[in-house]
Structure 1
Amino acid sequence: MKRILLWIGSGFALLTTLIGLAFVSLGGLQMITPPSYPDASPPHDFASDFSYFRDLVLLNEVGVTEEQANAFEAIVESVEPLQSVDDLSLSMLRALAPLDSAHTTVLSPRMHRLPIRFHWTSDALIIVKATPEHKGLLGQKVLSLGGQMPEELLQNVPQLIGGGTPNWKRYRSEFLYSAPSALSVLGAQIDGLTVQLEVSSLDGARTETILEADPVEMPGDPFWDFLDAFPDNKSFETDGWVNLLTTEQSLPLYLQESDRTLFSKALPADEAVYLRVNGSFDDENETIAQFGDRVLTMIDEANAQNIIVDFRYNRGGDYTQLLPLISDLSAAVPLEGQLYLITGPNTFSAGLVAGSQFKHHIPDQLTIVGSEVGDVMRFKAEGFAPELPASKVELYITTAWGDVGKGCDWFDDCFLPNKLLVHGVGSLEVDVPVENNWRAFVNGEDLILKAIQQDIQGSSAAE
């Protein structure tokens, strides 16, 4: 008996050792190794914050090539003495751009910002939020900022935004255009905190005005700035501002109850069920599992032939929470049915990972509608959010890769769960390219859902 117990103990020890070795060799240490933090001794000022930032990046950022490191260092060395948090935020963005990672960024920039907020449609940069004294600008198309067309300024956005797709950079420009100091870097003519603005109404009437930025720095968040376009949204210290869209008007499904992460509705005329997932995490009042059960029941009761999944604002979270729902929805599509996946620049991070898995499950029954997703197929994502000692500005630094194109090899530097749970799908090219234009957005219409409904009706007529 003792010999048997000894064999069992030895076998268990060997098995544990082999599992440990496999865990380490497959990159498991990324999950348990804490970040490295540089010394943060006083004095704490903008200069020390910038030095702290440099060391944080070099100590932790994964996958930095020698060329990228040299470009990063060259920009850091070229920065003139920092006078404000605007200078600090912009200098960090400039230094991070050559690292070519959409996730690696200034997570909580605070800058002097104009009293308006922007949103790109397919054909215009429009004003979607403003302080009460500037509410007359709501719904207007921006013709120029500081003497430059928004489209011209876009060409210089890669100086401040590295990584991601062109669609992501265009989205990120919405924040940059609200800050005079950023506009100056992008090539606009700025006078201190004032910017000359030229706009046009839908009927073609043009107006010029001078706007002055808030004397107090205001926040943003690269992964949440899209909230500015939502009805009655008061994010980022804009309580008291006026929104272009309100909850009092008729709104398209993608903007209804926009404070909810999870939303669904049956569309009997289209033999479809629509569900909107604005993040890869539980809603305040409903878990993803509960939402999934409810939606699957709705699909069954409606005998739905088509499922519409709206990921246009799924900016990320924890994709593992969504994978069971992705699998269940894929299985729920009838043999002759179709799943329509709506994507856009804010289909990002865990939202991008989760959405990609529809293509793994039902490649022949998937139609992608909308516009290009926010990141490339192989991207850095997993990481941490350190805070700078003096300014309290947060960064996001990435420590592992994901790959929804080729998939992660066993021994590459992908995050371990990605190797086990995520399948490579090649690409996520849009099958039906469509975006909401200026007029549609102002009027509360959704051309993307209309395109899906037309496709469904066309398919039904062809049968």
Structure 2
Amino acid sequence: MLFILNLLLALQGFAQENDSATQWQEDLRFFQNTIHRDYPLLFVKTSPEAFDREVEALYAEIPNLQEHEIIVGISRLVASFKYGHTHLSFWQKPVEFAQFPYNLYAFEDGIYIEGTHKDYPEAIGAKVLAVAGTPIAEALQAIEPTVPAENAQYFKAYGINNLRYPEILHAQQLTQSLQHTVTLKLEKNGRVFNQTFTALPKGKSIPTERGFVTPDANWLSARDQETTPLYLQQLDKVYVEEFLADEQAMYVRHSRIQDEPGESTKDFYTRVLEEVVAKDAEKLIIDLRLNGGGNNYLNKDVIKELLQTEHIDQIGKLFVIIGKRTFSACQNLVNELDNYTNVIFVGEPTAENLNFWGDNRPLTLPNSGVSIAVSYLWWQDKPALENAEWMAPNLPVAMTFEDYRTNQDPVLEAALAFDEPNFKPRPMDYVKELYFSGQTQKLAEELPRMIQDPLYAFCDFENELLKQGNLLLQSGRGPQIQAAIQVFSTVLNLFPDSANAYKHLGESYIAIGNEKEAKQVLHKAIALDPDGVGVAAQELLAEI
């Protein structure tokens, strides 16, 4: 009798598990069908075919997976679109993953434990070398598919802390089972050691503000708390300003695109810019490095106030600090600043593509109740041909862990110290201006000089020139194609190992019927890059 009872209980458990697997499969199919029906617009960085292949693989595997593995599997599908506004939160009910008590931060010199619980004082400020026995670079690579990263900056800012979820560590095979402890290999003050962390109870999270731990009786910060740099002061406020009398500069930290209670964005910038003029400030520095977005309809007020203040809207006077947390509506603001003002960007690239799918709405899976945020609105501040993975700074400056720990701010210091009156923040605009105005001799002198000048290291001259050549080539008209040949030949004079330039030159020669020259340059493209550009060059040769 006992045997029969145990058998019935086992069969009942099997049936429940089987029902659960079926429900997850139904949810997955619902998600797949909804994306195809309502959101085909998201198939930009992945294809419908690749998406469906991953769906079918997960569908077949669901009966063999634990619930958290299924959820992480769905998150990989969501992340495959690579738009940060399309995401699956691991901090929602019924999905509520546990967290290990450490906050990771990507500095120029590596990944560090920026904050942790008071139970782990030795770990604070340590560099992470390995997670659960896996070197940190490989561990980051393992979790990357779970992050809807628009670019590498988004992953550094918003993605690396997926390493603190036990469920993700297991689902991405960094641990062999779902466990509530993990051991990190750390380095601090020249000593390498292991530290084992225990996960917080579900529902408990790490107190952070703009990516940094807020220290209190239970939580430790790696930063020396004796003083606070300007960019971290009053983080509870949307915007703050301070006039730096010694440098004759006005500093503004703007950390959210929204109105501050008691003073609108428009009123704030009106007041600040009036003070800039009254004090005859030499520079205005707007710090957007911690700004993750908000209501981009407020951006117009910022731009209008700046454009009306000719005193500061000049090259060398208006600086904007950007970084890996600059995202969403703040990316729109950055784009508009670039479009309409004489801004010089300082810091690191932004976390968002220039043009992007944003503004999401919830898609709730019918059985599990899991909610997925799905983007539906296209934001385009730049012409399609000028879209890029991020806004790059004109003055690239990154922060080391020691800079952070000791409250140094090399990014602000670079903006304050910059004094190059002939600097061209948009070097390609300058190049095109020389070309179209017929100043060929000056262009022949300026272009090689700028390519060698460290001040213009932020500009990828090779690819920017190739873009201009391709615009001419795609016109399909004789004079423009001849001009394209001239551009590609110029690129090869400056960058003799450019396989892309040889390939595009081959396309140009094909377009004017010069097969002999086309074959010669296409063979050079193949020799320089046989497995990359050379593949396309081979296809062009086959068509001749």
Structure-2-length-normalised TM-score: 0.64
The 3-state SS of whatever aligns with 2:134 is coil
Larger RCO of the pair (alpha carbons < 8 Å, separation 6+) = 1
Task: Give yes or no for contact 1:345–1:373 (8 Å, CA) kept in 2.
Answer: yes
For the pair 1:359 / 2:345, whether they are aligned, the reply is no
The 3-state SS of whatever aligns with 1:99 is coil
Offset, 1:190: 4.8
Quick one: distance in 1 between partners of 2:203 and 2:57? 25
The one of 431, 444, 448 equivalent to 2:411 is 448
| Cα distance change of structure 1 residues 359 and 334 upon mapping to structure 2, 3 Å threshold | closer
CA root-mean-square deviation: 3.3
| Cα distance change of structure 1 residues 160 and 226 upon mapping to structure 2, 3 Å threshold | farther
In the alignment, residue 328 of structure 2 is paired with which amino acid?
S
Quick one: distance in 1 between partners of 2:332 and 2:203? 34
In the alignment, residue 169 of structure 2 is paired with which amino acid?
L
Offset, 1:403: 2.4
For the pair 1:127 / 2:120, whether they are aligned, the reply is no
Offset, 1:247: 9.7
Matched-pair identity in % = 19
In the alignment, residue 83 of structure 2 is paired with which amino acid?
S
In the alignment, residue 39 of structure 2 is paired with which amino acid?
E
Offset, 1:390: 6.1
In the alignment, residue 342 of structure 1 is paired with which amino acid?
I
Aligned to 1:419: none
The 3-state SS of whatever aligns with 1:251 is coil
Quick one: distance in 2 between partners of 1:327 and 1:445? 33
Structure 1 window deviating more from structure 2 (308-317 vs 135-144): it is: 135-144
1:263-302 equivalences in 2 (<5 Å)? 263-302=240-279
1:154-165 equivalences in 2 (<5 Å)? 154-165=140-151
Task: Give yes or no for contact 2:31–2:365 (8 Å, CA) kept in 1.
Answer: yes
Aligned to 1:170: 156
- The one-character-per-residue Cα deviations of 1:296-338 (angstroms, maximum 9, x if unpaired) are 2321232112111111122111111122112312442154652
The 3-state SS of whatever aligns with 1:348 is coil
Task: Give yes or no for contact 1:327–1:358 (8 Å, CA) kept in 2.
Answer: no
For the pair 1:87 / 2:69, whether they are aligned, the reply is yes
Quick one: distance in 1 between partners of 2:143 and 2:37? 27
The 3-state SS of whatever aligns with 1:211 is strand
For the pair 1:199 / 2:186, whether they are aligned, the reply is yes
| Cα distance change of structure 1 residues 97 and 427 upon mapping to structure 2, 3 Å threshold | closer
| Cα distance change of structure 1 residues 334 and 342 upon mapping to structure 2, 3 Å threshold | closer
Please, which runs of 5 or more residues in structure 1 have no aligned partner?
A: 1-41, 234-239, 409-422
| Cα distance change of structure 1 residues 336 and 211 upon mapping to structure 2, 3 Å threshold | closer
The 3-state SS of whatever aligns with 2:119 is helix
Please, which runs of 5 or more residues in structure 2 have no aligned partner?
A: 1-19, 423-544
In the alignment, residue 269 of structure 1 is paired with which amino acid?
D
1:63-142 equivalences in 2 (<5 Å)? 63-65=41-43, 68-79=47-58, 80-81=61-62, 86-109=68-91, 110-142=96-128
The 3-state SS of whatever aligns with 1:198 is strand
Quick one: distance in 2 between partners of 1:87 and 1:219? 21
For the pair 1:188 / 2:174, whether they are aligned, the reply is yes
| Cα distance change of structure 1 residues 44 and 186 upon mapping to structure 2, 3 Å threshold | closer
In the alignment, residue 91 of structure 1 is paired with which amino acid?
G
In the alignment, residue 184 of structure 2 is paired with which amino acid?
L
Task: Give yes or no for contact 2:358–2:377 (8 Å, CA) kept in 1.
Answer: yes
Offset, 1:176: 1.0
| Cα distance change of structure 1 residues 425 and 330 upon mapping to structure 2, 3 Å threshold | farther
1:388-399 equivalences in 2 (<5 Å)? 388=365, 393-399=370-376
Quick one: distance in 2 between partners of 1:312 and 1:151? 25
Offset, 1:266: 0.9
Aligned to 1:430: 393
Quick one: distance in 2 between partners of 1:244 and 1:86? 30
For the pair 1:61 / 2:39, whether they are aligned, the reply is yes
The one of 342, 357, 360 equivalent to 2:321 is 342
Offset, 1:228: 4.1
The 3-state SS of whatever aligns with 2:62 is coil
The 3-state SS of whatever aligns with 1:63 is helix
| Structure with bigger gyration radius | 2
Offset, 1:360: 1.4
Aligned to 1:11: none
The one of 313, 317, 330 equivalent to 2:294 is 317
Offset, 1:81: 3.2
Offset, 1:170: 2.2
- The one-character-per-residue Cα deviations of 1:140-162 (angstroms, maximum 9, x if unpaired) are 11111112222233334442224
1:241-280 equivalences in 2 (<5 Å)? 241-244=218-221, 249-280=226-257
Offset, 1:95: 0.9
- The one-character-per-residue Cα deviations of 1:231-250 (angstroms, maximum 9, x if unpaired) are 438xxxxxx64030679531
Quick one: distance in 1 between partners of 2:54 and 2:328? 27
Aligned to 1:8: none
Offset, 1:270: 1.9
- The one-character-per-residue Cα deviations of 1:109-165 (angstroms, maximum 9, x if unpaired) are 432221212111111211122222123322111111112222233334442224511
In the alignment, residue 106 of structure 2 is paired with which amino acid?
W
Offset, 1:352: 0.4
Quick one: distance in 2 between partners of 1:371 and 1:157? 23
| Cα distance change of structure 1 residues 59 and 262 upon mapping to structure 2, 3 Å threshold | farther
The number of aligned residues is 392
Quick one: distance in 2 between partners of 1:425 and 1:129? 33
The 3-state SS of whatever aligns with 1:351 is helix
Offset, 1:217: 5.6
In the alignment, residue 453 of structure 1 is paired with which amino acid?
L
The 3-state SS of whatever aligns with 1:400 is strand
The 3-state SS of whatever aligns with 2:114 is strand
The 3-state SS of whatever aligns with 2:77 is helix
Offset, 1:373: 0.8
Task: Give yes or no for contact 2:150–2:389 (8 Å, CA) kept in 1.
Answer: no
Structure-1-length-normalised TM-score: 0.75
- The one-character-per-residue Cα deviations of 1:31-66 (angstroms, maximum 9, x if unpaired) are xxxxxxxxxxx9997565545544443343251449
Higher helix share: 2
- The one-character-per-residue Cα deviations of 1:347-395 (angstroms, maximum 9, x if unpaired) are 1111001111111122xx3211111111222311133134456665432
Aligned to 2:503: none
Task: Give yes or no for contact 1:407–1:425 (8 Å, CA) kept in 2.
Answer: no
Quick one: distance in 2 between partners of 1:209 and 1:425? 40
